[in-house]
Amino acid sequence: MTPRRVIALTLALLVVSTLVLATGLLYLWPLFIFPLLLAAVCFFELGSLLVAAWVGGFFVAFFALHKGADPATTRQAIVGLAAFSLAGLLFGRLQREQHALRGLLATSSLTDRLTGLYNYGTFIDYLHNEVTKAERYGGPVTLIMFDLDHFKRFNDRYGHEAGNDLLRLVGSTLQAVMREADMAARYGGEEFALLIRGDAYDGYGLAERVRRAIETTAVGLRNGERAYVTASAGVATYVAGSADETLLIEQADAALYESKRRGRNLVTVHAASELPERLDVTLSA
């Protein structure tokens, strides 16, 4: 995208400069407003300064070729160039702020405001795309579902603000433990999801790391005490040929429920997920 913008800006400057030099008409200099706006939109203040420098050099070349320009015209050109540069800087600044605002709005629509993780809608879209890629090109995709154990009891005992602090810490823990290529989301309430490119063995290993990290994560309370929670997890790997990602979610949920049933603070791998013989884990039905 950037090379195209550079080429477009360069062509705009060359066309306007050639037109003014060829005709010898100085009053055509306002045509430089077009490349100035283009530079501000594409490169913000830096682009505006570069165009202003170009225009300054252009005026030097213009007066060198047209010696009949009188001092009054020269002063007008200098004043016009100063105003031109200032307008470009202001417009470039405005474009930068608008760009930052659009980025903030886009981010807020994709992420969960409390935890900083992706939200449910973004996760579902990403999951669909990854399953489609796996179906088309091959390669395993594994879903890990986490649920905080006795979260309602935690809220009732320590208060909802402490519960929110806990959710923020879990979000930070997931971001710290997962790999760069993994995708973490707040699935809903106290439930989280991790989607990875890898098999059930990879998913089990990552789920165990997350489970242990949550187990040792302390929430600081107002009275100076520290509270701890545990998490249960379910792991399922997408099987090529399944109808869609719905089955993958159902299998991960079933494995998660099995972890809850067996006493919580466990990781369970769904039985339909292929596992190496060396991996000794609990399988759900």
The CB-side HSE value for 72 (13 A sphere, CA atoms) comes to 0
> Edge-to-edge, what's the strand order for the sheet holding 141-148?
183-188, 191-197, 141-148, 231-237, 267-270, 282-284
Total residue count of the chain as it appears in this document: 285
One of 135, 161, 180, 190 is an active-site residue; which one?
190
What's the rounded Cα separation, in Å, for the pair 56 and 12? 16
Cβ–Cβ < 8 Å for 76, 84: no
Is residue 190 flagged as an active site residue?
yes
Nearest Cα to Cα of residue 210 among 275, 158, 148? 148
Q: Which of 238, 266, 231 is nearest to 252 (CA)?
A: 238
**CA distances from residue 205 to 233, 268, 270 in whole angstroms, order as listed:** 11, 11, 14
Residue 32: CA count within 13 A, CB half-sphere: 28
Positions marked active-site: 190
